[in-house]
Chains A and B, each alone.
Chain A
Amino acid sequence: MNPVLIVGRTMFIRMLRDLPSLIMLLLVPLVLIAILGSVFSWVPADIPYMRGVASPMAFFAAGFLVMFQLFGGGYSLTYVKGALFSPMRWRLYGLPCSPGAIVLGTVGAATLVSLCQGLLVVLVTGLAFGVDWGSLPLVVLVLLAVTLLSQLFYLTMLLALRNQGTAMTLGWFFAYGSCVAGGLIFPLPVERPFFRFLATYGNPYSLAQTALREGSPQNNPAVATLCLAVLYAAAALFALLAARLAKRKLA
């Protein structure tokens, strides 16, 4: 078996056994969706926060789904740090495989775990709360784009800074900042063009939300495609950056 696959399979098992992360990235979003979706179904639909929102449950489901996917990059950061920036690196460097294979396998496993968690959120909210997710392939493509971007962003921060704490903080700012700029945390003054752009295309959260919203045939699939293309391009950019940094720092 290819070393990348061996590393990927092992890291996947380890991540599935990581209970605190599973609670944080799977249980917490489901609980938040359930509580906030229920609470806001009882408040008047014309409050600023809910203006233009067809279903509070769908709004929070899509919002927290993307938000926690953006936090999912913590998997790559934690497991690459544990492998190659700790005493474990001496054993791993002593193996007849490259550090790059270890990074690739770890990021692959982290992407898969995060994607599975996102799909579970989609499944549970669809079955238990009646959220209509529309086209499942589109949801998978959006989830994959967001989680890839997140994994590669966190990895790039780790490789650039080597300090897990600072890299994690920057990752948190990236994820939470996107959600703030996307209007999940509080309503943005979208009547102003700048904020309208910010809330529609201006950050990963907004791009993912726009892709999910516009993806159905009755809306504007071309816009969804554009948003997805931007997300994948951003992920590719961070992949290139991470590869350059890895070549320099893990040699």
Chain B
Amino acid sequence: MNMANLSDAVKRYDSVLALDHVDFDIGEGEILGLLGPNGAGKTTAIRALAGLLPLDSGTIRLFDQEQHPGRRDLKRRLGLVTQEITVFEDLSARENLEFFAGLYGLRGAELRRRIAETLEFVGLTEYADLRPRKYSGGMKRRLNIACALTHGPELLIMDEPTVGIDPQSRNHILESVRTLRARGTTILYTSHYMEEVEALASRVVIMDQGHVIAQGSVEELVARLPYEERVHLEVGEPSEAFLARVRAIHGVKLVTMEGLVITVVSASGSDNLNRVVQAAQGHGGLRSLMEDKPDLEDVFLTLTGKSLIDPAIAGSGKVHKRRVNGDGGEA
């Protein structure tokens, strides 16, 4: 069953076409990743889904009912985590939750119980009576999420929930998202950070300039690329014999050596990493290994000819490619 569906959605701001005949669905219980650079139309799509903006044309259906800005009954079943931190800094975390959950209709003992559970869930129980102006950026982000959770939404829309926070808080948030999904909450998750979407989403929708340019699971999207797998490695005793042994592995198309670094190019889907590592055992073992697999960034690059990573935030996300030490641990 679809929890939400955008069909032929068009939204224009003056001369800018923010949504250009956009179609996508969100299935019950899934995490749908919505990817795209700034200006792709992600936030407009989210706002239209949440009933904050009317469409110029097209339809939105939520829980099998038509969504529009007047549908308060549908808003009650949604949770919206905004991109900006939208909590009242002069109210404590508990007071913020009381306010927002109160407006969702929670009262009395039920309200207090849900607030306690939500504070526990986002790890803010100890700081419940502090005002957010004393919080770290990560704690504010968690409170921002908590404000959308207390009423127990069926569909949670998260607009870049991890922007500008420390790795510890990011991990906490990602773990919380997985837990919510396990509890049956459907989630629409947008992010600039591809590794987050890769790690969380069961399906991905990629948007650019108001269009949906691709959608499917990460594996499906990557499989569409005409890419080759690349492994860069250094071994203890590099020799022609080692290169020949690697060339003999099924799917290997090219082996080159430049200085001490050996590059192995295999056909897409060969998944030769383990075989190359095994081959290295008889040649002094591995000193270093870097796997260069196509990922969502490559998908986006191929589809649009530009990078998804915003230069302003590059470096705050993942280490894009995996580097492995000789002992097999990640570096």
Contact = CB atoms under 8 A, between A and B. Distances in A.
Interface residues of B, number: 29
Given A6-B99, A6-B102, A90-B80, A95 B75 contact: yes
Contacts of A91: 80, 82, 86, 100, 147-148
Interface in B114-153: 147-148
Contacts, number: 59
Given A13-B91, A17-B90, A90-B52, A96 B80 contact: no
A251 B52 CA distance: 10
Count class of interface residues, chain A: 10 to 19
Interface stretch (B18-26, B103-111, B187-195, B274-282): B103-111
Interface in B65-114: 69, 72-73, 75-76, 78, 80, 82-84, 86, 88, 90-91, 95, 98-100, 102-105, 107
B110 to A, nearest CB: 13
B86 A95 contact: no
Q: Give the dominant DSSP class at B's interface.
A: loop
A95 B103 contact: yes
B104 A96 contact: yes
A132 interface: no
Contacts of B76: 96
Contacts of A18: 90
A9 to B, nearest CB: 9
B10 interface: no
A162 B148 CA distance: 28
B289 to A, nearest CB: 45
B265 to A, nearest CB: 47
A38 interface: no
Contact of B52 (A14, A88, A94): A94
Task: Kindly list the 6 A-B residue pairs having the minimum CB-CB distance in the complex, ordered from nearest.
Answer: A87-B84, A96-B72, A91-B86, A94-B80, A96-B75, A96-B76
Interface of B: 47, 50-52, 69, 72-73, 75-76, 78, 80, 82-84, 86, 88, 90-91, 95, 98-100, 102-105, 107, 147-148
15 contacts: A1-B102, A1-B107, A6-B103, A7-B103, A10-B98, A18-B90, A90-B52, A90-B80, A90-B82, A90-B84, A90-B86, A93-B52, A94-B52, A95-B100, A96-B104
